[in-house]
Amino acid sequence: MVFIAFGLSAIITIFLAIRLSIYADTIERKSALSGVLIALLLGGATSLPEITTSITSVIISNPDLAVGNVLGSNLFNVMILAALDLFFRRHEIMNYASKENKYTSILTIFLSLLVAASLFINIPYDVFGVGVDTIILIVVYFIGVKMISAYSTEHADEEQITEQPQTDKGPTLKRAVIGFTIVAVFIMVFGSILTISGDRIAVITGLGASFVGSFLVAASTSLPEAVSVAIAIRLKNYKLAIGGIVGSNLFNLMILAGTDVFYREGALLSAASSSHLYTIVASIVLISISLFAMSRKNVSSSWFYAIPSILIIISYFIASYLIYVNSTS
């Protein structure tokens, strides 16, 4: 039954992610909201399964699965972007990255460094059960997002001028907003079923908790991101495709911070295995490579353009092997 539940929830989640991306594209085109805000909304909506998975993990006193789920999802998300960039390489989607996409990636790298430092130093101190490292993470997150939003608002007119005009197609704005909200709720429900059944399958196979959280369960929770990015590329909304991934990665780190609130046995990161250092360091490396790809000037050679994405995919599988070895040893 667990395999049937996994398969059915995967199919339904794919369909929901397609609708979510179409609604997000419509909202961006027909509303006054900035592209970076829409990307964060899409990233947050596709990250909803991570919330229930992480909270469930700490409720059953499994901090490794909670931390591995979030950090592993970030690692997998960047690999998704690289794989789709190669698949749709003639579009050269990384060349369409906005400055907000780049700033969001920089903020994600900085927050990831804070998480890595906390895992390495193992800070045991907490305030009312919430780790001091988590509090710092939340403060830096909101300062960073406010700065990015302020920049986006300041350059909104400039961004609008440089964008290519698009035809008025798809559902109305009101229908898109209602549809986005409803689909986001169903994404959380069926995405959670997907991750819970994925966890059960992983337990049945006898894999270690850290590896499960960083690979199988993380891959399951990242399925909505993969589909939504592919659809955004099909719609030729490349900024939304990139923004959906970078927004999801940023939102995932807030899920990690929020999960600490539900973990009542002390600081979450201090209770997690040090093997997660491999995951967070790998995600920092992969995000840095993707940031380089976004920041490059247009390249004449398609082969040279593809190098960063190829490096990301190779690095992902190397990191997955290291995570597996160190979580089962």
For residue 37, the domain's CATH number is 1.20.1420.30
Structure tokens at 124: 């045991």
* Cα gap 30→32, rounded to integer Å: 7
Split into its structural domains, the chain has a count of 1
What pLDDT, on a 0 to 100 scale, did the predictor assign at position 163? 44
Closest by Cα among 51, 31, 28, 23 to 183: 23
| CA of residue 146 relative to chain centroid, distance | 19
Q: How much is the pLDDT for 155?
A: 64
CA-CA distance, 235 to 227, in Å (whole number)? 12
pLDDT at position 293: 93
Question: What are the tokens at 254?
Answer: 């807030």
202-236: per-residue pLDDT in tens?
667 665 455 554 566 666 667 788 888 888 888 88
pLDDT band at 108 (very low <50, low <70, confident <90, very high): very high
> Comparing C-alpha atoms, which of 109, 31, 74, 110 is closest to residue 291?
109
86-90, 113-117, 194-198: least confidently modelled range? 194-198
DSSP for 49-83, please give it: HHHHHHHHHHHTT-HHHHHHHHHHHHHHHHHHHHH
Question: How far is 108 from 209, CA to CA, in rounded Å?
Answer: 25
Which domain range does residue 48 map to?
2-161+170-328
Chain position carrying tokens 């840095």: 288
pTM: 0.81
Report the SS3 class of residue 126: strand
Q: What is the DSSP string of 152-202?
A: HHHTHHHHHHHSPP----SS-HHHHHHHHHHHHHHHHHHHHHHHHHHHHHH
* R_g of the chain, CA atoms, integer Å: 19
Judge whether 222 and 76 are in contact, CB under 8 Å.
yes
Strand partners, 130: 127
Placement of tokens 């920089």 in the chain: 106
* Whole-number percent of the chain with pLDDT over 90: 21
CA–CA distance, 190 with 171 (Å, rounded to integer):
24
Q: Which residues, in sequence order, are bridge partners of residue 126?
A: 131
